[in-house]
Amino acid sequence: MVNVLWEWEETPCLLCGSTAARPLLWRQRPRHVVCRECGLVYQNPRPTVASIQAYYERGYWEDRGSADDARHDVSQQRGAAIAALARNVIGKDDLIVEVGCGHGKILAYVRDQFACQALGVEPSLAQCAAARERFGLELIQGGLDDLDLGGRKAKLLILSHVLEHFHEPRAALARCRAALADDGWIFVEVPSILCPHPAKRLSTWLSIEHMVYFSLTTLSQMLAETGFRVTATESSTFVRAFAQNTAGLPQTHGGSPAFNEYWPVRRALLRHEIHYWPRYAAQRAVAMLSGK
């Protein structure tokens, strides 16, 4: 892990506001908990914004990969999925924006499919340079708070494995909605808390830079509460949601949720840990037999 002097802060549930939560793992840091009222998984205590910013600046991006490595294929697959969802809503004169665009492969793919305008927002200076050089993208080097469309409105906003990094994901979605046209759309993809990476233990998979982990239910709820109407979803090791900006829809927060995924989350993660060890033993046996 990058060497950072970590500072920590307490937080209530980022979805329903409850303070009733139970740790997923008995470790001090990072400490992910599951809300007893709605089932959202989040860090508490969590690193402060300043701590995470220092973490990103001191080497986090060095192992994120480039557009030429194995992530290339994954990015193209995600770009194709976004293009398929947006095929009937994006026109030639429309603007698409990706927040946290990295090396720009997803954004460039979608732009080229529709021959439309594209803008990326990316905090890493090196990733911005790579995206400009390889794909000729218009970039803002910074975060969501630095997004300035100069009076324009986006028809599509992309958050691909970005929302889970925000300390306040609800506020981030509200900021995204403000940047969208009244008939605009948002695409969100995040890791699924109900389906961790099968080759990793939970203690390895739960990441310090991820403030929150969603299920399809909790992501859809947060989108609805911030003024979006979800029209298409997919859930496996990740959760995808495609949602329309519903201008004038009142935003709500807090209160007792109409659902509670506490026990589904607990059961899914227990199954993951139980099934991990037979998989690990089989992988080790194969490695030993092959002399690795």
SS3 letters for 222-267?
HHHHCCEEEEEEEECCEEEEEEEECCCCCCCCCCCCCCCCHHHHHH
Does pTM surpass 0.85? yes
Q: What is the DSSP letter of 199?
A: T
Q: Is the peptide bond before 45 cis (omega within 30 degrees of 0)?
A: yes
| Helices 216-225, 169-179: crossing angle, 10 deg rounding | 50
Would the pLDDT of 59 be above 90?
A: no
One-letter identity of residue 104: G
* Per-residue pLDDT reduced to its tens digit, 124-163: 899 999 999 999 999 999 999 999 999 999 999 999 999 9
Pairs from 276-284 (Cβ < 8 Å, separation ≥ 24): 276/198, 276/200, 276/201, 276/202, 279/198, 279/199, 283/199
> Do residues 160 and 78 touch, judged by C-beta distance below 8 A?
yes
H or E segment and range at residue 209: none
* Per-residue pLDDT reduced to its tens digit, 157-175: 999 999 999 999 999 999 9
pLDDT of res. 133: 97
Q: In Å, how far are 28, 188, 222 from 230, measured between CA atoms?
A: 36, 10, 10
Write down the H helix ranges in the chain: 49-57, 71-86, 105-114, 125-135, 169-179, 202-205, 216-225, 262-289
* Per-residue pLDDT reduced to its tens digit, 238-290: 999 999 999 855 555 555 567 899 999 999 999 999 998 888 788 888 888 88
- Work out the percent of the chain whose per-residue pLDDT is above 70: 91
* Per-residue pLDDT reduced to its tens digit, 217-237: 999 999 999 999 999 999 999
* Per-residue pLDDT reduced to its tens digit, 7-46: 999 999 999 999 999 999 887 788 999 999 999 999 999 9
**Rounded Cα distance, 75 and 79, in Å:** 6
